[in-house]
A and B are shown apart, each in its own frame.
Chain A
Amino acid sequence: MDQPMADAPAAQVKVTFTTTEADLQLPESKRQLLVPADIRRYGLSRILNSESMLDTGSIPFDFLVNGSFLRTSLEDYLTSNGLSLETNLSLQYVRSLIPPVYEASF
């Protein structure tokens, strides 16, 4: 009944971006976003930098979820915390403190 799709699109999760950095605020209408659930820090960083979001080029961002840095995919974070894709995850973004050299290995 369910035809297998050649390129099955990923599951999505709804996130809310927040920040305390005054110069990097998003307008309210852009703070909520559906993103692929398998996304990681780097993908989120790229989305935030994109033209339709902050349009900031290539600032590396880190993301805080419930007070700790996101080091896995969102999906893995949800699973290991007993949360489902129904969760609206609050992601606080900060300028990354990780040196750019280290960046490539992430």
Chain B
Amino acid sequence: ATHLSEEDGNARPLRDYAEALEMWTTFQTKTQALSQSLSSQLRLILTPTQSTKLSGSFRTGKRLNIKKIIPYIASSYKRDKIWMRRAVPSKRAYQILLCVDDSSSMLPSGGGGGSSSSSSGRLALESLVMVARALAVLEAGQVGVLGFGTDVFVAHPLTDPSLASSSHEAGARVLQKFTFTQDGTDMVRLLRATIDHFADARLVSGARGGGNQEDLWQLALILSDGLVQSRDHARLRPLLREAMERRIMVVFIVMDDARESKKGHSVLELKEARFGPDGEIVIHRYLDSFPFPYYLIVHHLEDLPGALAALLRTWFAEVNA
């Protein structure tokens, strides 16, 4: 059973459908080229044409199989299939969750003339549309969308047909659910829910005879302004370790709108002040205790395809090493 409720969509505020549809089509048009760029970069990373593993026993090959050497000599050089070759790469299957921050810090607060054209929320939704489209084109696997704030909700189930496939309707229904009105950002709850959701999804895909479980890759992309209560940073570390042990890759994409960061409002500059045990003031950079090992900061939408591809390339290189 999943910890996420899908029926509570009725209880949560919804954006007007016509507005959401308009947003989806606008964002799609705006991000068309970027989406194509992302999908062509991801194609190379997600679907390798060359296996990294050498295996088998052949008369000729790339590298000697050490285990075959003794039998080879013992057989008076008759059992001569002592070489390994690169195997044909197995097809990978992906389950990808796009986790979008629905908390109210995603919108400029205080009503100080903050237009919705300049906000982390807008950037996150544009990124969501761009990435979802790129993944749909790739047909990389299942793509779901989660929303989070004080709680976590499913905006688009992994098992549903791909977002952005034919009609704009499914996309608009997802955007409807993001109103940025949740009055908390519970990242601990999000990570717990993501790990559990992926565990369930792995079972389901195994039960359907999805073949070799080794080839299922699970990836969570968190789209957020990066503002998490610092006291939660320590509680996130064991969850991030658990995700890693379960071979779930978690990428945190910090939405840091350039128009805001130009005014010195960047999360990169953000400091935090505390009082030490003797009442002394300690000030340090907020990101210094940020617990996510894989994160990138996006000031402009145009930064995202290249930055995300580079990060995933690094990660795949590390896990294949």
Contacts and interface: CB of A to CB of B under 8 A. Distances in A.
Given A34-B286, A86-B185, A87-B109, A46 B281 contact: yes
A50 B283 contact: yes
A2 B238 CA distance: 11
A34 B273 contact: yes
B286 A89 contact: no
B209 interface: no
Given A47-B281, A85-B184, A35 B229 contact: no
A8 B184 CA distance: 18
A50 B280 CA distance: 10
Given A8-B231, A87-B110, A29 B269 contact: yes
A10 B183 CA distance: 17
B104 A11 contact: no
B272 A12 contact: yes
A52 interface: yes
Contacts of A2: 235
A86 B184 contact: yes
5 contacts: A14-B270, A27-B264, A28-B263, A32-B269, A86-B185
Contacts of B194: none
B110 to A, nearest CB: 5
Interface residues on A, range: 20 to 34
B290 to A, nearest CB: 12
A85 B109 CA distance: 11
Secondary structure call for the B interface: mixed
B183 A33 contact: no
A86 B283 contact: no
Contacts of B283: 33, 47, 50, 52-53
Interface residues of B, number: 29
A95 interface: no
A36 to B, nearest CB: 7
A28 B264 contact: yes
A71 interface: no
The 6 closest A-B pairs by CB, nearest first: A28-B264, A84-B183, A34-B272, A9-B231, A86-B105, A86-B104
A31 B112 CA distance: 16
Contact of B229 (A47, A50, A85): A85
B103 A35 contact: no
A34 B230 CA distance: 9
Contacts of A43: 275
Contacts of A10: 231
A84 B229 contact: no
A73 interface: no
A19 interface: no
Contacts of A53: 283
A12 B229 contact: yes
Interface in B104-126: 104-105, 108-110, 112
